[in-house]
Structure 1
Amino acid sequence: MSPPANLLAEYARHTLDDSDRAAVAEALLDERLTTGPRVGAFEAAFATRVGAAHAVACNSGTAALEMIYAALEVPGRPVVVPAITFLATASAALRLGGRLAVADVDPARGHLTPDTLAATLAALPQPAAAVTVVHLGGPPADLPALAEVARRHGTVLVEDACHALGSVETPDGAPVGACTFSRAAAFSFHPAKTITTGEGGMVTSPDPALAEAARRHRNHGMVRAPAPLRADSLATAPWYYEMHSLAGNFRLTDFQAALGLSQLTKLDTFVEKRRRLRDHYLQRLAPLSPRVKPLEPLFEGTIGWHLMGVRVEDFAAGPEARAATMTALKARGIGSQVHYIPLYRQPHLADTLGPAADPARFPGAEAYYARCLSLPLFPDLEEADVDTVCAALEAALG
């Protein structure tokens, strides 16, 4: 099946081939459509690929975050998140009864920084249950420095790695997901991400207890033998199970896992193609500097680029400039997006935060948000498509 004619109409899209479709078709012929052997196989293959001790599959990146937060027992305790991220980074903690604390970010990259984290943690009335670091766009944040700040304040890092599959933690370090500096990482397999299962997610962790708690939260908080049961006399009864915590159904199906296994074999190819396309963007956008600046990683190394993010100085004049540019791009059949509206600007989260939602408290996030734009980036594109996008952007900016 060939890509759609309007390939550039979206900023991101999935890449599937006949081997992916065959893997799903084969799974649909099996007796088990969910909680079967392919889910375990996908978990094992993913853990091997990212160097993780444990991997727990689920039905979305949001579910992965909630499973981690549940394992860290966040109810009633602060959870620190960066101002620039998707809603789920915060909402997954709030749904469990966590107390949201929002930290400012680097205005150039949109990442949590050691300084903004330290200031946020120092202002909390009690130690945070967790600090969630978001690897916005694919490049990792400064994990070693952030982990040291978290350690000094008696808390731990969680990685929202939904954008960062295929990246490494440090220039000479392990893949993101190995959790060298964190207690757990969450991944997404939404169709916009580097590999897809349609909808899906994964938790990775070096901690067997956290992984087991995540599995329990994935399946209604349900416990069966040989795990400890309250009613010991029924522990060997074949029908018996117990609900040990309030949870939900976050299971992944076997045919989704089949697609994930097939896509995982192409991960390196996808990452390399995204890198080459970004390199071509850098060449084509260079004449537009300093008005247009591509977002730069903290270090040079293997980066699984999810977004082709740019900062456009023209947009600082006001939201009308960005709206006009995006409308002009759309008129030429080119999709674009903004990643993201700051959390404290969302009505429900602003109500939750109260006075702490004042935009003046977040100069870095305000500067980043005012200028950011994401251009199309996915493996089905070619360099000629990048040329088309850049020419259209140049025309839109006048």
Structure 2
Amino acid sequence: MAYRSLLRVPGAAFFPLGFLARLPYATSSLATLVLVQAASGSYAFAGLAAAAQGIANALGGPIAGTLADRHGHRLVGTVTALANAAALTALVAASHTGRASMLTAAALSGLTQPPVGPLIRVHWSRLLHARARPDLLPTAFSYEATADEISFVAGPALVGLLTALGPTAPTLAAIALLLLATLPFALSLPQGSSEHRQSTRAARTPLPRLPLAAMFLAMAAMGTIFGAVQTGVTAYANDSGHPGSAGLLYAVFGIGSALAGAACAWLPAGFSLRRRYVTFAATLLLGALTLVAGERGHALPAAMAVAGVTVAPYLISLYALTERLAPADRATVALTILCAGGPLGTATGQALAGYLADRHGSAGAFLVAPVAAAAALLLAVAAVLGHATRTRSERSVRTRS
């Protein structure tokens, strides 16, 4: 019933277009690896180019979010879609020149990546509040988490299929998706009233820096888990003599997360957001420990399925808390700052897990995941305890006054 009610809010066409609009992001890292490795003949350089792309994306996302809050989602979404298509075109051209130009083009493609996820989530928030249906916001965020996970299963699979046509094919497909899906989606977003833009220029509400920093670190911890799992699965598949199974194993992880994200729409209203945050951070740690046990017990496929179920509920809690703590006129930049933690964490997880995989195999790589998950749990507990302390202090002040 919840999802049926959600369908009536933006119109049915919003959903397939929004899903296709995020596919260029889901394909970008792997597509860049394939293209640059084929052009340079070096996996190390291809990894460097993908890392440059990810770091540039982490830097460019908050800039795009700030501009979207100031100048409107439609304008920023349109400009970044066109700029990203141009940057990826430059990357294809650079693959026929030298390494320096490839590295520069890869960084530019990350810097100009359209922040589709944050734009969609802020759009949902504003739309549902305008329709007097804020009760549907958890359902909307559950759907978005599910769509994200499905895109991260479909994206690498699409790259794998298109690579058979040549190393440039996945990047050319991403360019086509940017122009045929991301651009039309951006044009469908509201630009925002001139009164709203004038008010946000006149008096910018400050962001809650410490809580937002905690959310950023929490997302970085999740990214570290992603990086460790990607590296661990790759090492496990290579060690087992079936390197092609890595994609299938990671797909099991993503499918489990997508199903759990969809189920979050039916969580009881009495299960508060902060309780969900701590609970799902704890289950995330259990899932990471399951991966370690599954690798050692030669039951990694089952462990991947179990661990995947713990991912989306945790991510949904992060998005919902960040949306709640952000001022209305700074919601987009707050969510892009949150999302910036993902690629930085993934790069960190890949680097640490890669170092351990070289020395201890896949078992060493997977050990990074529970360490990152434990950090995520500590951050969640600290955030909830800090909120409870502030609430008691505010009540005490009101009582004395």
**TM value normalised by structure 2:** 0.27
Higher strand proportion (structure 1 or 2): 1
Higher helix proportion (structure 1 or 2): 2
